[in-house]
Chains A and B, each alone.
Chain A
Amino acid sequence: AQKVTQAQTEISVVEKEDVTLDCVYETRDTTYYLFWYKQPPSGELVFLIRRNSFDEQNEISGRYSWNFQKSTSSFNFTITASQVVDSAVYFCALSEAGSARQLTFGSGTQLTVLP
């Protein structure tokens, strides 16, 4: 069965610091998809990125970057020069190409960016 682990329950940083959120996953499928979602205090879930298992290229989008490493089953998320607006709960999630098409979520990491 698939599983996503986000070991960091809460992280607190001061504005402009860089911060990395860890995500480790387990799956038996050879084809799978990894996602990051952001849940700000308002409560909605906002899609940030999707990664295919066959594409290990790292990705950068503005201050956000993602490091996908199949060898360690990790899909970590780094925010550079954090801002107060980045304060939110961040979820890593996994879906598979097979029968488990639904998202399996990690428990989330609460990020607080202090001014």
Chain B
Amino acid sequence: DSGVTQTPKHLITATGQRVTLRCSPRSGDLSVYWYQQSLDQGLQFLIQYYNGEERAKGNILERFSAQQFPDLHSELNLSSLELGDSALYFCASSVSGRGADTQYFGPGTRLTVL
């Protein structure tokens, strides 16, 4: 158990809908990262937050947004969902958000868009 929690574990929804994925980092970690794992794209970085502020952005679509709250939990919002958004979404956390940090991953949320 990494100490990172993600809810829900599974999510099934329809095209055009909006969903919210939630992540709680390990105790003491200030930085949260979101990654998407799909069969065609592999594991891709989406976005990073550090202590409530956006720190880095990767290949995140405009239909996707995220935030980190004062209690350090984070939410990833996916809207106008398309079939191609079906994937495993991981949250990871680290102490300080630096490249030297080890990132610990949550169990993931498996999103299926029908």
A residues touching B (Cβ–Cβ < 8 Å)? Answer: 31-33, 35, 37, 43-47, 50, 52, 91, 95-105, 107-108
Q: Which of A46, A96, A108 contacts B42 (CB 8 A)?
A: A108
Does B19 touch A at the CB level, under 8 Å? no
Interface residues of B in 31-78 (CB under 8 A from A): 33, 35, 42-45, 48, 55-56, 58
Please classify the interface of chain B as helix (H, G, I), strand (E, B), loop, or mixed, using the class held by over half of its residues.
strand
Apart from A44-B108, A45-B92, A101-B101, what are 20 other A-B pairs with CB-CB below 8 Å?
A32-B99, A35-B103, A43-B107, A44-B2, A44-B106, A45-B90, A45-B105, A47-B2, A47-B105, A95-B100, A97-B98, A98-B99, A99-B56, A101-B55, A101-B97, A101-B99, A102-B56, A103-B33, A103-B92, A108-B42
B99 touches A105 (CB 8 A): no
Report A20 CB to chain B, min CB distance, Å.
21
Q: Report how many A-B pairs have Cβ atoms within 8 Å.
A: 66
Report A15 CB to chain B, min CB distance, Å.
27
Query: With A43-B107, A47-B105 given, is the CB distance from A91 to B43 under 8 Å?
Result: yes
A44 touches B99 (CB 8 A): no
Nearest chain A residue, comparing its CB with the CB of B94: A101
A102 to B36, CA, bound (A): 13
A44 to B42, CA, bound (A): 14
B82-113 Cβ-contact flags toward A at 8 Å (1 or 0)? 00000010101000011111111111101000
A105 touches B42 (CB 8 A): yes
A20 to B6, CA, bound (A): 32
Q: Which of B42, B58, B100, B108 contacts A102 (CB 8 A)?
A: B58
Q: Which of A50, A91, A101 contacts B98 (CB 8 A)?
A: A101
B43 touches A97 (CB 8 A): no
12 example contacts (A-B, Cβ-Cβ < 8 A) are as follows A31-B99, A33-B100, A43-B107, A44-B2, A95-B99, A95-B101, A97-B98, A101-B56, A101-B98, A102-B45, A102-B56, A103-B35
Query: Chain A CB within 10 Å — which of B44, B97, B100 has the most?
Result: B100
A96 to B90, CA, bound (A): 20
A98 to B110, CA, bound (A): 31
